[in-house]
Structure 1
């Protein structure tokens, strides 16, 4: 029997079912081509594709014993193709391109090897920037398999010391599950199922108003059942959801599972699998989960039906988008099949008694219908909203209301729908300010009552911005300069023997745009730690013994400027 067969499901999508592990995947990957990047027993704190706030996790997080300082090795021979320094994100990162069509990525690094660090520092000084992202010529820095490229760390938006590791398709730049290449993690534990949710859709868009039924689940060892065994009586168009997680044998961390299939009477009607995805799809996690429940209660319910406006490769198959129509009077078998990438499987079986349509719950929907696949515009006079196609996952019954003006603001408060409906990227929001704004218009920003400034540019009588969420918005004025707080320097300081100069900056509203440091009038590199928000200049040989002047200029998004200067001895 062939190891892999091609299965046509629902006449929609083809994918490969490996007999050895029965893993859903679209193609075969070169097992054994890559080695583990660390000299440590493989253990992960984060799995590929698991659920994170506003994104699917794009790689494996290899544990480093809660320490920095472990050697990081090239997973395969090739060359350094890209170097990156981010304030947040991956922090310090190295990208290697390999001859088999894949690129590996290594993130949150403490520091790079000297020749790579030199290339980064040269770029930073040439462009006078801390953040850097640049590509290198092929084979400018060739590497062999296993070669040291960096030291593990905790830079960027890391929650603790670890190595973030990815394998990407070099042509499409899609990120691919590294475990499909044989970089496996010891695992004999099946996924755990906590609960299920039923959604009464019945032709309406999914929203916070969709009627839900929640059921707790019990079980172990891969076999699960409803905590209160019962036949479920359903009618009309039903969506299913699940709350579940996975663990491997090397860690106590709760991670994401690999695949989920929903079967009705033995027929697979929906498949989800974390094989690969493109980065412009990652925000679609908010269409995949029950977003209203996540916002209100931080519950990670994974919907087993596909939003009509979501187009991501993590849905390899579905029939009628996974929405099941119960329109007869028969008893049906429904089964959830949840798997990890090692093939460990958990199942939950339900009995559903279908009933005729007269038993369907009825919900009345009001508002202006926004279509997920069209350009939508709303204009109340003092407010305009434009949502482009591709930014809604489903149709939305758009709601708007005008609220009382808050003290210190320059417009009424506009309730733009609600924060329970996700936006894929952003939309255009225009708010007309009060006439009193006058010459302060160029200092105006739009503020989300739940999340601070979303930016703003005054044009054509409106303040315009591109928020990434709905909510309550109003206009404020930012005329306050940022604050500079020196940590270890003051005028006349003796810094002989001191390794670095440190300071903090903050801004009250629009946010810091630039921080420029100089010594004796020459630009210096101020490195910033994302977690502590500390800017730090590390002395090098260019600063000789004697008297010097340190100065820093901080500008916010509305061009309010603060400066600090101090003479010091070295």
Structure 2
């Protein structure tokens, strides 16, 4: 039987790759300056705001255009061109089933670049994702496949390099024997914190997270004074790793916690699934990141955390501290090159004291409150002459609950209330009261709809990691004539978006130019979007905060750059949404580099010297458009 040509090619490709799969002894080649000493700007598992860093970032000496070499033989299985994220990226499938990834590239090899350019012009788009046929672009180990660059979300020239397994899980490249990287520096610990977890927990007699400085002894660290605690607590560690010849603060891949010489909890960030990357916001204490900008490791597994690189002996890594017991804690940090450092501390179990000779760290007139996860903390300045232990009255629906002070900070009484027992509308002490602005409890895996003043908030079933207590408010800020829709607390992480339907009270909005923006205390605006339906506007977002409506009727700005066929584009508020260009009425591709606010012509094959009428259109997210025309 005679095989047709297409079937023959498929058969031969399958046979060739099957043969290669059996040959997995080929080692991985370092993709930049192989055989020479190299330096890294980032390592596997580094804690970023919204994701763990995958793979390694290889420095290129501040240059672009260094040759990028195929780490192993194989073929290009995926090509992506984007103005964000990985920028220009190549994905290469190897005989062992792994895929190597090369990102932030300035340009591809000639044959790949020609293929991509043709697809971009055919689809009339610069940003594109392509999946070439197997072996359409096959390379041997050490072949040049691209040039390094600074495209996408890169903040400086470098090569982002990954190795992924057959399930597209990211593996740690530093376990593949690259001698080009030298590391004789042990991980560095900066701070340690201890956090009370439930209403009966205390750290140094208080229901407060306590931050500790560390004393350094060579590569080891210690808290010299014994910490007193009681009940369920969690330990949090701030630290980083360094490599020879680089000042960058990199990630710590392995941390182990020992309690009284027995391994209690560990994390090994060497294999990661992309689908769970966002769970980093429950790996680190999100409230501390929001309030102080510091990214600690939780040395426990918080509620809703689905990451699978932890191993705990008991209680998800939390410690249960009993009175009159002593706990010797050792925290060992490892890097992929075998360097080890240790943090040691001692915790003494102590029943909570009632009277504490410490001051509160905020202004208090008579009564105020804070919410920390599910605990309501009420502070009152006690001066009730008839009773130093005055009860706090807690109003929940039509009932009244009373609680005694949990402890005193000098003359300030501190009351604790578990919100699982009910959400108060107000509290009263010594004839002084305060309203509690919690609207509702939202529970994971259960849709929650909150009817607030002039807006409705909908948390879908998939939105939450843990139970949250939501406060909403509507206000008109007369100083800047803004309607503000507030959804709190901002210190609680969300797994996915919530949805809002707002009913603005102002009537002057130019709806086609008015959208939702998130605002902060400094008066900055961040475009969110939204769509109008009659007199309401719907939007969704993945972080809580304050939202307002702003009209943007100012079009983007286009101005020629000094280099021929290059143009600067910018927008004052909502941001650039799209750009398109034509020459003599025919679509022509523009390359966009947002970091430089620059677009330029990427000519198709054979058209570099074409002349005629050039038109560039740029739209912002509010729908404003600017058209620039010239003769080329």
Alpha-carbon separation, structure 1, partners of 2:579 and 2:269: 40
Q: Deviations over 1:445-480 (max 9, x none)?
A: 111113422010113642111212111112233333
C-alpha RMSD over aligned residues: 2.5
Taking the TM superposition and a 5 Å limit, the aligned residue runs for 1:399-478 are: 399-405=471-477, 412-434=483-505, 436=507, 440-450=510-520, 451-459=525-533, 461-478=535-552
The structure 2 residue matched to 1:154, chosen from 145, 150, 155, is: 150
Q: Is the 8 A contact 2:588 2:603 kept in 1?
A: no
Alpha-carbon separation, structure 2, partners of 1:254 and 1:316: 25
Q: Is the 8 A contact 1:31 1:182 kept in 2?
A: no
Q: How far is 1:369 from its partner?
A: 2.3
Q: How far is 1:442 from its partner?
A: 4.0
Number of equivalent positions:
520
Alpha-carbon separation, structure 2, partners of 1:271 and 1:461: 53
Q: How far is 1:376 from its partner?
A: 2.6
The residue aligned with 2:569 is: 505
Alpha-carbon separation, structure 2, partners of 1:233 and 1:41: 48
The residue aligned with 2:584 is: 520
CA shift in 2, pair 1:468/1:384, >3 Å? same
The residue aligned with 1:531 is: 595
Alpha-carbon separation, structure 2, partners of 1:269 and 1:176: 25
The residue aligned with 2:260 is: 265
The residue aligned with 2:625 is: 561
Alpha-carbon separation, structure 2, partners of 1:283 and 1:31: 35
Alpha-carbon separation, structure 2, partners of 1:452 and 1:437: 21
CA shift in 2, pair 1:520/1:355, >3 Å? same
- SS of alignment partner, residue 211 of structure 1: coil
Structure 1 unaligned runs (5+)?
Answer: 1-29, 489-497
Taking the TM superposition and a 5 Å limit, the aligned residue runs for 1:282-293 are: 282-293=277-288
Q: Report whether the alignment pairs 1:108 with 2:100.
A: no
The structure 2 residue matched to 1:385, chosen from 457, 464, 473, is: 457
TM-score (normalised: structure 2)? 0.77
Taking the TM superposition and a 5 Å limit, the aligned residue runs for 1:141-290 are: 141-170=137-166, 172-183=167-178, 185-202=181-198, 211-226=208-223, 229-290=224-285
CA shift in 2, pair 1:342/1:150, >3 Å? same
Alpha-carbon separation, structure 2, partners of 1:351 and 1:32: 49
Q: Is the 8 A contact 2:26 2:72 kept in 1?
A: no
Q: Is the 8 A contact 1:236 1:357 kept in 2?
A: no
Alpha-carbon separation, structure 2, partners of 1:460 and 1:363: 45
Alpha-carbon separation, structure 2, partners of 1:234 and 1:316: 24
Alpha-carbon separation, structure 2, partners of 1:199 and 1:567: 66
Q: How far is 1:396 from its partner?
A: 1.8
CA shift in 2, pair 1:474/1:423, >3 Å? same
Taking the TM superposition and a 5 Å limit, the aligned residue runs for 1:11-90 are: 33-39=27-33, 40-90=36-86
Runs of 4+ in 1 over 4 A off after TM superposition: 357-362, 406-409
Q: How far is 1:232 from its partner?
A: 1.2
The residue aligned with 1:487 is: 561
Q: Is the 8 A contact 1:38 1:70 kept in 2?
A: yes
Q: Is the 8 A contact 2:452 2:473 kept in 1?
A: no
Moved more, 151-160 or 98-107: 151-160
Q: Is the 8 A contact 2:200 2:231 kept in 1?
A: no
The structure with the largest alpha-carbon Rg is 2
CA shift in 2, pair 1:220/1:67, >3 Å? farther
CA shift in 2, pair 1:244/1:435, >3 Å? closer
Structure 2 unaligned runs (5+)?
Answer: 1-23, 355-405, 408-414, 424-437
The residue aligned with 2:432 is: none
CA shift in 2, pair 1:560/1:325, >3 Å? same
CA shift in 2, pair 1:32/1:99, >3 Å? closer
